[in-house]
Each structure stands twice: as structure tokens, then as C-alpha cells.
Amino acid sequence: MVVSGNWRLEDAKAGVTTPMDSSRIHQTLQHLFISNLENVLTLPTWFQHFTSLQILYVRNCSKLSSLPEGTHHLTALKILMIERCPKLSKRCIKENGEDWPKIAHVPDFYCEAMKTSTTDDE
């Protein structure tokens, strides 16, 4: 569902089908909330095409273990929050996490594994 630049993806237990073929969504989506995706291991490759995405909130996705390779292309991303995603959180730890290079450009990043946000460093 797309409502004024916002999209929520929640509670999917099997394969996730989405209206991602629309280039309009890729160009206009600003806020994405991903929650309770029990069996998702990684986000799809189309994720990197959300060039207007400013806020990404990922919560309670216990098997989510990595971010897509193109995540560093999300240059408009200003806020990233990762909560209750233990595997992903470990990979996103500042400077030494495997996925850190993909998100190092995000000015306001919070991850439970860090128990802090990148804005606290200033």
C-alpha cells in the first residue's frame, strides 16, 4: 500500500509480493517501515532503487541477516533504525560490521547492537 510517499510491509510469513514494478514508487517513496517479516533473510535487490527514501525502519525481522548490495545507493536516506533484528544488527555495527560500508553515509543511524546512534558521536 502506498500512501503519500509512505509504505508499510508487515507480518508476511511466506514470499513477499509487492508492487515494486512501478517506477513511480521507486522515485517517490520516502518512508519505509518493515516489521515482523519472520522468514525474510535479506531485502530484495529492487530495494536499492528507492532513491527518494529518507527514513527506513526495520523491526522484529529475526532472520533478516543482511542488507542488499546496492544499499549504499540510497543517498537520500537520513534516518535508519534497526530493532529486534539480531543478525542484521551485528552486521551493521559501526566501522567493523560487514554491512557498515553500505550504510555509513546515513547521518542518523540507530542499531540495538550499538546501543547508541551515530548522531551521539558528535
For position 50, which CATH number holds? Answer: 3.80.10.10
Three-state DSSP at 91 gives helix
Kind plus residue range of the DSSP H or E element containing 101: helix 100-103
Provide the domain count of the chain: 1
- Distances from the Cα of 41 to the Cα of 6, 18, 104, 106, angstroms: 23, 16, 21, 22
Domain holding 23, by residue range, is 2-121
> pLDDT by residue for the chain (122 residues), tens digit each?
333 344 555 544 444 445 444 455 567 888 888 899 888 888 888 888 888 999 999 999 999 999 999 999 999 999 999 999 999 999 999 889 999 999 999 999 999 877 655 554 54
